[in-house]
Amino acid sequence: MSTMLRLDGVVAGYGAGDVLQGVDLTVDGGSVTCIVGPNGAGKSTVLRAISGLLRPSNGAIVYQEQEIHRRAPDEILELGVTQVPQSDALFANLSVRENVLMGAYIARRDRKLVERRYAEVSELFPLVGERSDERAGNLSGGQRRSVEFARSLMLDPSLVMLDEPSVGLDPKALKVVAAAMKRMVEAGKTLLLVEQNVRFGLRMSTHGVVMESGRVLMHDRADAVLNNPEMTDLFFGGTPTKAPPPTAARA
Amino acid sequence: MTEFIQATAFGLLIGGVYALFASGLTLIFGVMKVINIAHGALLILGAFLAFTLWEQFGLDPLASILITAPAMFVLGLALYVAMIGPLRSAPLSSTVLLTFGLALVIEAVMGLVWGNNSRSARPSYFDQSFDLSGIVLPKAQVYASIVAILVLALLWLFLNRTWTGRAIRAASANVQGAALVGVNIARVSALTFAVGLATVGAAGSMVSVLYPFLPGSHYIWIARVLSIIVLGGLGSLQGAVLGAMLLGLAEVYTQTYISTAWATAVPYVLIFVVLFFRPQGLMGTRLREDVAV
Amino acid sequence: MSTVDTVERIGLDRRLWRGVIAVAAVLLIAYPLLSDDLFYQNMIILSLVLAVGAVGLNIIMGYAGYISLGQSAFIGLGAYTVGIATTRIGGDPFVWVPLAGLVAAAFAALLGVIAMRTRGFAFVIITIAALFILQIVAINWDSLTQGTSGITLPLPRWDISIQNWPFYYTLIALLGASLLLSWWIRRTKIGTGLLAIREDEDKAATIGIDTPVYKIIGFMASAVFLGMAGGVYGYYIAFIDPTAMFDIVISVQIILAVILGGRGTLWGPVLGAATIEPLNELANQQFGGGNSRLLIFGGLLTLTILLLPKGIIPSVRDLLERRTKRGRAALVGGRLGERRALNGRPATATGGTGRNLLEVKGLHKHFEGVRALDGCSFAVEEGTITGLIGPNGSGKTTAFNLIGGTMRADAGEVWFDGRRIDRLSPWRRAYAGLGRTFQITRVFTDMTVLENVVAPLRSFSWRQLRAGAVSGEEAARAEELLAFAGMAEYRDERAEALSFGQRKLVELAQVLMLDPKLILLDEPAGGINPTLIARIAEMIRELNAQGKTFLIVEHNMPLVLGLCEPVLVLASGECISTGTPDEIQRDQQVLDAYLGADFQLEEPVAAP
């Protein structure tokens, strides 16, 4: 499997301090990679940097051999990288169909393409066809998440990034979301996700990345990461012995 | 009983025009979170334009929509670039003051250009009515309402069947989400403002036939704007239309059963009453600035 | 920030500024004695009315941030009160002037009651509506007001050589009174409360500020002297009619005076009024009034909002601040000051008393699609430092919001100190003894550190409201608390300049001002260095030893495990476990919660 996405020593922040302090990361084509870590580790920030919403002050982000860390968000969209953000990005008062269609907004001039993509996405997510005229805001949590996934696929991206897809969902909804993710993988998409729910995230994935205080501590096969006893310590207040000492947070 | 039916019919007809008037306002608020107090003044401006077209060229005011609407559209773009755009991120109270100042400026300009006398466009059907077994409906009112419904229908089609319309609705629902799918928020906002002004221009054409008007007439329309906001909320087009209908009925009933003079107080009274019992407006949409967590 | 501070920054001596004002005042008072020119006297009289309006509006708009476009309603009310009373009952119009003030204040109270549950722009709507409705009433209720024919007042009966002096000097007196009122409000807790409302109304509510009442007080204060000035004005013009008395353009002029002069400053509105009125005269004389007047003032309002939203004085101040960045001690990252221990009786017993101070029963709260709290129940024992932990999204901050009152629960009960509080407003909960800090600190950036700590209200009493904000009993108490937090030397700094950690200390001092029984701390250790964390832990222990109970949400495990006992664990909106730190660390359920629901897939997702 070839490397699809690579981060080299990425340093980035929001002014007060750098959230990412030198992130090294690779994502192989066709894999499902999950980033886990405690609060403030910088997980969501990595996704933002990749999407072009945050510019790194140092380091590089390379996608399919192209450097993307200096590009604008819509350029990155066009290259085939989409993101489903953590907080609600759904258009509550539009119908399910319209929500999904809006995913192809930048391609709207090519009607045939949009129709074809919509048909393909509906096949992948039957929910879209079944509830196409319903107001999106009326759906349950898991269903809304699925609609957001469907929307993210309209431009036929190669890399789909999911920011905490499980947050706020009950076990039943989790199953729905897991099934949806599985379908995306079967359709040939590479997934990069950030997860707070460590077990869910790593069980869904082929590879796992553990981050803490803006750096990558561990990068291995998902089951290896999940079964690593050091990791439990990390989440429950101890300091893993192999990790570099965390930098003191600022006053 | 006939009187009641008459009043109800009349109220609904007027409500149709009010609904057209309110639709622009709701659109503008939805996308930009701007309350346009100058909406009333722009309505009267549209009326003056239609009146001039009728007076100079004999053009039927209802037909002149084809000219006034596009003209107001262009004005909308200009105003947006000049002053509304910069205020998208300002607090709500600033935009209220700004648009209020704008309303006064427009009133002044209208006074300077057209003078402060009362005007009214009088096409041939001006004082004719339909008589339906005892219920008298002025032709002007009926025609105006039909045109209003047509324009509203067009607006609906635009919002629901075109990509741009969808982008506008998406941006009103969730600005972040819209930006994420590549919608150019600034451009969509400008367009929305211009469309809002186009609809008010159309409504203005109708007003030129329905009521005598002068530059100072915009104050009563400010009251109607505010009252529709409070009644229907600014959350949706449906809410605004409903609010407009309610206002129309309330005004006509007051006029019929109490007096014409007090009918002008109706919008204000509604504002007080509704805000006292339901501070969030009748339809429950955000009149309270959101509770910060 | 006051005009005086700005003036200081410009480099002028405080005394020089006061001298300038004194000279101006003397000139103003002496003017009619020196000159016979009625034209300028007239202009000054009109300016004075505007100035009274602007100074009053500044209280509700400059301090509290609530914009009123209806201030001229009070002028009209005042004028009509004097007019109606004089023509119906008789007597000298001046006798009725105080009544005019009362009527205006009463109307303001009425509007306030209607508006008090709304926010910001709904208030503007109500004030506009009020103005127009009064005009309509004045036109139509002609049995009382003579409608559009208006009320004509008898001409003054004093010696013609005195000319307009009675009007002139009465208005000066009214301006003086309103300035005094504005100054007094600003330096008491009413003022700090209003400023707090402007900056962060929800936060203000949590520190005991009864926001509707404060707003009504502010609005009444803006109306009372303007009503009196309106009465005088009505007599001066001698003809009272609906159009002139309920004129929207005057409302706009009053707003412009405040905005141009500088909101929130004491003399700014007067400066503004002095600028606006000559413009008004110009519009009337040179351009024939009417539309030109509208154009000028409407245009000015629009331009001012677009270009100079803060006003002349504050804009000048900002400009100067950018130039003269004197080494105001880099407060960011500044060292921590010395801390003083608290004076106070230690509690009779340390540790829990066995009684539950806080009980949460079956709380439910959901936002669109997400269940934040799902039947959450737990209790906090009096006298303990209880920890509240749980993974992200477990509902901890939502629980705090429901307990503190910034949000309403969909279902469930909250009991505090034996009373049910889930229906109470946030300030009543503060009076009951509940205090709370926020994850991202909320301090009032435009006020000084001391004012921030003085602002909270322990209980609703006139005594407290009247208390001085920078001197007196309340201020002394606040200083003590600041010393406890180690922030005493920053007392006169604007809160805006503080670092994140320093703001945390100030927020804590604010909460302590309430003398609370239970303190909810939301991530006290978040985003600060270990030294500060240690200090805060020390403070918590000291306060606990004096009988205060704590409920602390934290992610910093070592801190929680070292400081708290017992520890409550939230997950997926429910409380799943409680126990000592040791027990919690070894609880498999808790571990599961942190690592995520045990999720088994039927088949693997993809081949590695």
- Which sign does the torsion angle of CA B206, B209, B210, B214 carry? positive
On chain A, the residues whose CB falls within 8 A of the CB of B167 are 102, 105
The C residues from 62 to 81 touching B (CB cutoff 8 Å) are 65, 67, 69
Length in residues, chain B: 293
| Residue-level pLDDT at B95 | 82
Best of A94, A135, A160 to substitute, by most chain B Cβ atoms within 10 angstroms, is A94
- B231 vs B22: CA distance, rounded Å: 12
Say whether B275 and C249 touch across the interface (CB within 8 A).
no
Judging by beta carbons within 10 Å of its beta carbon (0-12, 13-18, 19+), is residue C337 exposed, middle or buried? middle
| Residue-level pLDDT at C427 | 94
Helix, strand, coil percentages (3-state) for chain B, rounded to 5, are 75, 5, 20
| Residue-level pLDDT at B291 | 28
Q: How many CA atoms lie within 13 A of B282 on its CB side?
A: 22
Say whether A102 and B180 touch across the interface (CB within 8 A).
no
Say whether B180 and A85 touch across the interface (CB within 8 A).
yes
Average pLDDT, chain C: 85
- A43 vs A83: CA distance, rounded Å: 14
CB under 8 Å to C120, separation ≥6 — which residues?
Answer: B91, B92, B93, B289, C65, C66
* Alpha helices in A52-188, H assignment, sequence order: 73-79, 96-102, 111-124, 126-130, 141-152, 171-186
CB pairs under 8 A between A and C: 109
Establish if A88 touches chain B: CB-CB under 8 angstroms. Answer: yes
Q: Does position C2 have pLDDT exceeding 60, yes or no?
A: no
| Average pLDDT, integer, range C266-278 | 88
Establish if C418 touches chain A: CB-CB under 8 angstroms. Answer: no
Q: Does position C11 have pLDDT exceeding 80, yes or no?
A: no
Q: Which two tokens stand for residue C79?
A: 């004028």
- C574 vs A25: CA distance, rounded Å: 36
Establish if C128 touches chain B: CB-CB under 8 angstroms. Answer: yes
Q: Does B288 map to a domain?
A: no
φ, ψ for residue C360, nearest 5 deg: -115, 125
- A48 vs A87: CA distance, rounded Å: 13
Q: For the domain bounded by A3-235, which CATH number is listed?
A: 3.40.50.300
**Any idea of the CA torsion for B123, B127, B130, B134, to the nearest 10 degrees?**
170
pLDDT greater at residue B127 or residue C312: B127
For B86, which of C115, C125, C306 is closest by C-beta distance? C306
Q: Does position C316 have pLDDT exceeding 80, yes or no?
A: no
- A89 vs A100: CA distance, rounded Å: 12
A237: left (phi over 0), alpha (psi -120 to 50) or beta: left
Closest CA to C52 of C208, C167, C187: C167
- Global pTM value: 0.84
Q: How many domains does chain B have?
A: 1
Identify the residue whose tokens are 């406890």: C484
The C residues from 516 to 555 touching A (CB cutoff 8 Å) are 527-532, 555
Best of C66, C107, C118 to substitute, by most chain B Cβ atoms within 10 angstroms, is C118
* Nearest residue of A to residue B170, measured between CA atoms: A91
Q: Which of C110-119, C193-202, C242-251 has the lowest mean pLDDT?
A: C110-119
- C423 vs A29: CA distance, rounded Å: 55
Establish if C598 touches chain A: CB-CB under 8 angstroms. Answer: yes
CB B60 within 8 Å of CB B54:
yes
| Residue-level pLDDT at C369 | 61
- DSSP string across C408-450: --SEEEEEETTEE-TTS-HHHHHHHTEEE--SS----TTSBHH
| Residue-level pLDDT at C522 | 92
CB pairs under 8 A between A and B: 51
Give the whole-number percent of chain A exceeding pLDDT 90: 31
Distance from CA of B194 to the nearest CA of A (A): 22
Establish if C133 touches chain B: CB-CB under 8 angstroms. Answer: yes
Q: Does position A241 have pLDDT exceeding 70, yes or no?
A: no
pLDDT greater at residue A249 or residue A18: A18
- A139 vs C538: CA distance, rounded Å: 48
- C281 vs C279: CA distance, rounded Å: 5
At residue A187 the predicted structure's pLDDT band, cuts being 50, 70 and 90, is confident
CB under 8 Å to C243, separation ≥6 — which residues?
Answer: C135, C148
Largest CA distance in chain B: 60
Say whether C599 and A174 touch across the interface (CB within 8 A).
yes
On chain C, the residues whose CB falls within 8 A of the CB of B262 are 136, 140
Q: Which two tokens stand for residue C119?
A: 């926010």
- Which sign does the torsion angle of CA C564, C567, C568, C570 carry? positive
- Per-residue pLDDT reduced to its tens digit, C511-533: 999 999 999 999 898 878 888 88
Chain mean position to CA C63: 7
Give C413-422 contacts, CB < 8 A, sequence gap 24+.
Answer: C413/C359, C413/C360, C413/C361, C413/C362, C413/C363, C414/C358, C414/C359, C414/C360, C414/C361, C414/C363, C415/C356, C415/C358, C415/C359, C415/C360, C415/C361, C416/C357, C416/C358, C416/C359, C416/C518, C417/C357, C417/C517
- Give all strands (DSSP E) within C89-174, no chain letters: 151-152
Helices C211-237 and C165-186: crossing angle in degrees, nearest 10, is: 170
Distance from CA of A110 to the nearest CA of B (A): 12
Q: Does B105 map to a domain?
A: yes
Say whether A85 and B182 touch across the interface (CB within 8 A).
no
Give chain C's domains with CATH numbers: 35-315 (1.10.3470), 356-595 (3.40.50.300)
For C606, which of A31, A144, A166 is closest by C-beta distance? A31
Domain borders along chain A are 3-235
pLDDT greater at residue A123 or residue B87: A123
CB C84 within 8 Å of CB B249:
no
* Alpha helices in C520-564, H assignment, sequence order: 530-545, 557-563
Q: Does position C560 have pLDDT exceeding 80, yes or no?
A: yes
CB under 8 Å to B92, separation ≥6 — which residues?
Answer: B33, B35, B289, C120, C121
On chain A, the residues whose CB falls within 8 A of the CB of B176 are 85, 87, 89
* Nearest residue of B to residue A97, measured between CA atoms: B166
Residue B215's domain is classified under what CATH number? 1.10.3470
CB B208 within 8 Å of CB B100:
no
Establish if A101 touches chain B: CB-CB under 8 angstroms. Answer: yes
Give C169-176 contacts, CB < 8 A, sequence gap 24+.
Answer: C169/C29, C170/C94, C170/C97, C170/C232, C171/C45, C171/C48, C171/C49, C171/C52, C171/C229, C171/C232, C172/C28, C172/C29, C172/C48, C174/C48, C174/C52, C174/C225, C174/C228, C174/C229, C174/C232, C175/C48, C175/C51, C175/C52, C175/C55, C175/C270
CB C246 within 8 Å of CB C129:
no
CB under 8 Å to C86, separation ≥6 — which residues?
Answer: C92, C93, C96, C153, C154, C235
- A157 vs A160: CA distance, rounded Å: 7
- Per-residue pLDDT reduced to its tens digit, C149-177: 888 888 888 877 777 888 889 999 999 99
* Nearest residue of A to residue B30, measured between CA atoms: A93
For B173, which of A73, A87, A93 is closest by C-beta distance? A93
Q: What is the ipTM of this complex?
A: 0.86
- B173 vs C5: CA distance, rounded Å: 44
- C596 vs C218: CA distance, rounded Å: 52
| Residue-level pLDDT at B109 | 94
| Average pLDDT, integer, range C386-392 | 86
| Average pLDDT, integer, range A157-166 | 91
Facing residues of C577 across strands?
Answer: C569
Angle, CA C116 vertex, CA C114 and CA C119 arms, to 5°? 115
Best of C276, C280, C287, C294 to substitute, by most chain B Cβ atoms within 10 angstroms, is C294
For C118, which of B83, B87, B288 is closest by C-beta distance? B288
- A140 vs A126: CA distance, rounded Å: 15
Distances (CA, A) of C70 to C39, C289, C532, C564: 28, 21, 50, 54
| Average pLDDT, integer, range C325-352 | 54
Distances (CA, A) of A18 to A15, A26, A72, B116, C334: 7, 21, 21, 63, 20
Helix (H) or strand (E) holding A217: strand A215-221
On chain B, the residues whose CB falls within 8 A of the CB of A98 are 166, 169-170
For B174, which of A73, A89, A108 is closest by C-beta distance? A89
Q: Does B262 map to a domain?
A: yes
| Residue-level pLDDT at C207 | 94
| Residue-level pLDDT at C343 | 63
- B208 vs A157: CA distance, rounded Å: 54
pLDDT greater at residue C262 or residue C437: C437
CB A29 within 8 Å of CB A7:
no
Q: A77-93 burial, b for 16+ CB within 10 Å, e for fewer?
A: bebbbbbbbbebbbbbb
Q: Which two tokens stand for residue B179?
A: 């930006």
Establish if C392 touches chain A: CB-CB under 8 angstroms. Answer: yes
Q: Does B235 map to a domain?
A: yes
Facing residues of C575 across strands?
Answer: C570
Domain of B159? 2-277
Q: Does B237 map to a domain?
A: yes
- B20 vs B244: CA distance, rounded Å: 9
Best of B271, B280, B286 to substitute, by most chain C Cβ atoms within 10 angstroms, is B271
Say whether C139 and B261 touch across the interface (CB within 8 A).
yes
Give the pairing of strands A3-13 and A18-28. antiparallel
Q: Which two tokens stand for residue C602?
A: 């039927």
| Residue-level pLDDT at B50 | 94
| Residue-level pLDDT at B287 | 41
Identify the residue whose tokens are 């696929």: A153
Closest CA to C350 of C591, C83, C543: C543
Q: Which two tokens stand for residue B240?
A: 């605004």
User: How is residue C348 annotated by DSSP?
Assistant: S
CB C561 within 8 Å of CB A240:
no
| Residue-level pLDDT at C30 | 84
Say whether A89 and B176 touch across the interface (CB within 8 A).
yes
CB under 8 Å to B263, separation ≥6 — which residues?
Answer: B251, B252, B254, B255
At residue C97 the predicted structure's pLDDT band, cuts being 50, 70 and 90, is very high
- C343 vs C81: CA distance, rounded Å: 56
CB C403 within 8 Å of CB C553:
no
Q: Does B260 map to a domain?
A: yes
CB C406 within 8 Å of CB C201:
no
CB A49 within 8 Å of CB A29:
no
| Residue-level pLDDT at C325 | 47
pLDDT-flagged residues of chain B (< 50): 285-293
Facing residues of C360 across strands?
Answer: C378, C414
* Nearest residue of C to residue A36, measured between CA atoms: C595
- Chains within contact range of chain B (3+ C-beta pairs < 8 Å): A, C
Establish if C94 touches chain A: CB-CB under 8 angstroms. Answer: no
- Per-residue pLDDT reduced to its tens digit, C100-114: 999 999 999 999 888
| Average pLDDT, integer, range C181-195 | 92
